[in-house]
Amino acid sequence: MLASVLAAAIVAAQGTTMTGSIVGCILDPTQQPLPGATVVAKADGVQRSTVTDGAGCYEMRDLPLALYRVTARVAAFDNVTRDRLIVGPAQPTRFDLTMRLSRICECVSVPGGLAEQWDHAVGVLHLRLADSEPVPSTPQGYYRHLATVIRVLKQPAGLRSSAMFVLQNQRSGTPGPYDVGQELVAFLESSSESNSYGITNDEPALAVAPGSDAPAIAFLVQDGRIQRAPPGFSQYLGISIDSFLEELRSLSRRR
């Protein structure tokens, strides 16, 4: 609603101008330019991407007037995301940023099959992601989503509500953040924090329980099918969520 009201007000004030632009430059921690960084801008029904030039700068023109989520990513650096960036018809919207070096590599290896992951997980949930809810306690390099529990496939201890939140890491140039309305089938790993669990495909150092080689994992669902799967589970890409959930239910019945 807020995005629609703002866009309508901008158009009304400026006549027939219907597009705007986003420009900026991306630097590393030493303030040197970062060429080759990918910048993705998303709004309702719109997605544009570009790559920074040799000076570390970029420009996206002819964008419909709206509020955008803009994510910048490049290998070896933490992703950076800005929500609700206003694109108006007058001056270009400026989005400059400095990216931090990532301490985590994209080198996860998932042993075993789905049955082993089921046995290892302390819980398995089917979640739907809602809008972001940034709070001061959100760790740097992470993106926080509200989430609703659609189905409890394996009950985790301490689950008291159908509402929760998901912290997605944005390290090492991994895609993200996930989008509003997407779904996850999350295999949960217990955390040292109260009422907190780990779900990740990119961060083995934080996902592996003591004495275990199996990290917690998540399958991304969009348009009713598995869109993204952890390494070693590519056979599930493209299958319907109903078929996937039935396989998980069969694991539950056998155990």
C-alpha span between 231 and 229 (Å, rounded) = 7
Tokens of 103: 């301490």
Tokens of 100: 């931090």
SS3 251: helix
Please choose, from the candidates 95, 97, 96, 99, the residue with its C-alpha nearest in 3D space to the C-alpha of residue 22. Answer: 95
Walk along the chain (255 residues) and give the pLDDT tens digit of each residue. Answer: 434 444 444 444 445 558 999 999 999 888 999 999 999 999 988 999 999 999 999 999 999 999 999 999 887 788 888 888 999 988 899 999 999 887 654 434 445 688 888 888 888 999 888 877 667 777 777 777 788 889 999 988 777 777 777 777 776 556 666 777 788 898 887 765 655 666 655 443 333 333 344 456 789 888 889 988 877 788 898 999 999 999 999 988 875
What is the pLDDT at residue 173?
58
What is the pLDDT at residue 195?
59
In this structure, whether the domain defined by 2-98 belongs to CATH 2.60.120.10 is answered with no
What is the pLDDT at residue 205?
33
C-alpha span between 208 and 216 (Å, rounded) = 7
Question: Domains of the chain: which residue ranges?
Answer: 2-98, 114-254
* Strand extents, DSSP E, 76-162: 80-87, 93-94, 97-98, 123-132, 142-154
Residue 247, φ and ψ in degrees, nearest 5: -65, -40
Question: Sign of dihedral through CA atoms 6, 7, 11, 17?
Answer: positive
CATH for 114-254 (2.40.360, 3.30.70, 1.10.3470, 2.40.50) = 2.40.50
Q: Are the CB atoms for 47 and 60 separated by under 8 Å?
A: no
Which residues are CB-neighbours of 223 under 8 A, at least 6 positions away? Answer: none
Please choose, from the candidates 114, 99, 101, the residue with its C-alpha nearest in 3D space to the C-alpha of residue 252. Answer: 114
